[in-house]
Amino acid sequence: MTVKLNPKDIKVSVLLTLMVALGPLSTDLYLPSLPSLTETLSTTVSRVQATMSVFIAGFACATVIYGPLSDRFGRRSVLIGGLTVFVIGSLGCMVATTIEELIVWRFIQAVGGCAGPVLVRAVVRDVYEKEEAARFMAYIASAMALAPAVAPMIGGWLHVLFGWRSHFVALTMLGVLFIWAVSVLLRETNVNRDPTATQARQMAINFRHILRHPQFLAYSLTLMFSYGALFSFISVGAFVVIGVLGVAPDRFGYLFFFVALGYVSGGLLAGKLVSRVGVTNMIGTGVGIGVLFGVLGLTLSLNEVQTIPAVIVPIVGVFFACGFVLPAATAGALMPFPQIAGTASSAISFLQMSGGAIIGFLAGYLHDGTTVPLFAVIFASWICAAAIYMRARWWGPIRPLADATNG
């Protein structure tokens, strides 16, 4: 049994949403367990944090593969294959006995899990055009954020009741459920398959064409640094909130819920406004909001204000800003490439995830038992995003960027 993919089909919309949510679920579910892993596996904060960064690095590496594969063989079959790898990686994490084993299996889990976000973007590009794609991505991102908003709360309960391995039991079961749902509900949307998409020479040509496109670079690099600001908190937020502020692991999820609501609110508002103000102006608004809250968080931390409101309020603002930037920048970066949307989505994901991994690792490496390194990294990320946006919007050779939603 299959159903047609259209914006009014609630079953397919929910499925696509959950596919995109697979990455955040795989990171956020076990956030409450991160501090305790230093004792359980006899390791250090930086090595535990590496299980987060290596997951994002695995995402970045695998994105280069899934896009071209889906351009040649179709979205559906490649998605099922990726989910199968995700299940295998989750099982490996579940039985890991050392931090080294956990790091390796987290990488494999990420290689499979990234099929969801990469291929859903390509599916949306197959079906929608311009503002419709940006609007759909904004709504799907908002709904998707509800899952990781709840995930740390569920993860906290699982940690207290059953320990950290229970998180990977849950992810294994979820992966199996997704394989069944994709097999039953999702029809193929790639009607213009490219038989040369996986040839090394053609892949190089396609990626070179994408990475040299000025509109793609402007949108995707702005997205990369914005995501880096968000991922900095995902990467070390548990160490700050639990370790520095003294919040109990099963309470951390409740605070993260408010943080994620910031992203939900930003995405919902962006979905309503994007048709009026355009993709480019939507990104600029989000970047401006991000800079303001980055300044607020850094100012409070430098003045040694280490309280829950002093951390959570700026972080909520950062996530709200990302709700504006990430969906709009994704849609804008994909628009010039209707024939190779899968490869373009791979390039976006590679930049986003590799940049997030590096920035998140930096936040973990600099962690010193205060809130200063976290907010310093967040502020620097937003400044980089703002510099790229301003260069492209007003001073660069990318004048068409301002009118990307109009033609």
* Domain CATH number, residue 390: 1.20.1250.20
Rg over CA atoms, the chain: 20
The answer to whether residue 2 is domain-embedded is no
CA distance 23 to 32: 17
Give residue 211's pLDDT. Answer: 86
* Separation of alpha carbons 195 and 155, rounded Å: 43
Q: In 3-state terms, what secondary structure has residue 39? A: helix
Residue 207 maps to a domain? yes
115-154, pLDDT tens digit by residue? 887 788 777 767 666 556 666 666 666 666 666 667 777 8
Report pLDDT for 148.
65
Distance CA 18, CA 23 (A): 9
3 within domain boundaries: no
What pLDDT does residue 151 have?
77
Q: Which domain holds residue 308?
A: 10-185+202-403
Say what the pLDDT of residue 407 is.
35
Is-contact 30 154, C-beta < 8 A? no
Instruction: Tell me the residue type at 250.
Output: D
Q: Where are the alpha helices (DSSP H) in 163-248?
A: 165-185, 200-211, 214-238
- Report if residue 208 sits inside a domain: yes
Question: What is the per-residue pLDDT for 406?
Answer: 37
Residue 394 lies in a domain: yes
393 Rama class: left (phi>0) / alpha (psi -120 to 50) / beta: alpha
Measured at the CA of 54, the angle between CA 52 and CA 58, to 5 degrees, comes to 120
| Structural domains of the chain, count | 1
Low-confidence ranges of the chain (pLDDT < 50): 1-8, 397-407
Q: Is residue 4 part of a domain?
A: no
Q: Tokens 């986003």 — which residue?
A: 352
Q: Tell me how far apart the terminal alpha carbons of the chain are, to the nearest angstrom.
A: 38
Residue 190 domain-assigned? no
In a domain, 213, yes or no: yes
Structure tokens at 189: 């949307």
Contacts (Cβ under 8 Å, ≥6 apart) of 172: 87, 90, 91, 94
